Amino acid sequence: MRVLPLLPLLLSGWFAVPAHADEAQDWLKRLGQAEQQHSYQGTFVYERNGSFSTHSIWHRVQDGKVRERLMQLDGAAQEVIRSDGRTECVSGKLATGMGDVTAVSARQFDAQKLNDLYAVTMQGDSRVAGRPVAVISLAPRDQHRYGFELYLDRETGLPLKSLLLNDKGQLLERYQFTSLATTPPDDSQLAPAGQCRPVAAAESLAEQVNSVQAWHSEWLPPGFEQVSSTLLRDPRTKSEVTSLLYDDGLSRFSVFIEPLKGAAVPDARVQLGPTAAVTRHLSTPQGDMMATVVGEIPMGTAERIALSMRVGKDDTEAKP
């Protein structure tokens, strides 16, 4: 998510360091609570790999529950409705392959954990969508994740602009609001406008992930933890595909494991903007499998994760 090379933090003196550090931590805490506390609606642009798209979003917090609607405004019509992090329906290309998807709860934002994984510093003040923002940078402490530059609304703590940066400070992805209102959307604004296809949770299949498949990674980058495991059914091949989601509190990647059943599928590595996609063959007691890692992580990290996938007891320990 985000923009220019990370700028050096200009300090006015020795005693400025703890003050800036404390302020940056306070903003991270506000960020962690913002979307669970504030309703809003607005329009944002999304940029990656040289392409742009425009989206509208409606987000309502009511009686401790969060409901959200997202719609793409250009190109093919695409829409998503979520309730407390659970995807209820999708339309357009997003609907392809979305059947039998188990919901993933909204991520739990841990400011202290992020501070262990990223060097968090204040960058100063700016404006986004006509609103004052505080700018903070999160530079990764290892080579297994990208850096972020976040522009947080001073009134609500919401991220109005987010830039994803590689180790050279080059922009990989940008998310930026062009307009924002903090008025809660009404029921009509949160209702789907097009052919929004319901997404069914495959609960019975999901229960089998631990008892039958029990896939895990023998190596994970520090700070990444598995947050969901689901058994999907490929509509084309009818094969059961194990889907695992990992999260460090800010970045995520997914791993998909499926049986090859004699198919000749070559190993592959593809970089699409900030997203790495790596496919590797695995030999297991259940036969040949294909492991695919997809996420906004460096290519070398994705390859190491793919080759470390195993079935059986999980003795994973994060190693550098």
pLDDT in tens, 290-316: 999 999 999 999 999 999 998 876 555
> What is the pLDDT at residue 38?
96
**Is residue 31 located within the same domain as residue 138?**
yes
- Which of 82-86, 173-177, 188-192, 219-223 shows the lowest mean pLDDT across its residues? 82-86
Quote the number of domains for the chain.
2
Q: Identify the domain boundary among 161, 190, 219.
A: 190
Clarify whether residues 247 and 290 are in a common domain. yes
Same domain, 30 and 164: yes
The predicted-structure confidence for 118-164, as pLDDT tens digits, reads as follows 999 999 999 999 999 999 999 999 999 999 999 999 999 999 999 99
> Which one, of 75, 45, 44, 47, lies nearest residue 58 by Cα?
44
In a domain? residue 319: no
**Cα–Cα separations (whole angstroms), residue 253 to 100, 243, 293, 300, 318:** 19, 11, 7, 13, 16
The pTM for the full model equals 0.81
Q: Give residue 85's region: left, alpha or beta (phi > 0; psi -120 to 50).
A: left
Print the domain residue range for 290. Answer: 203-311
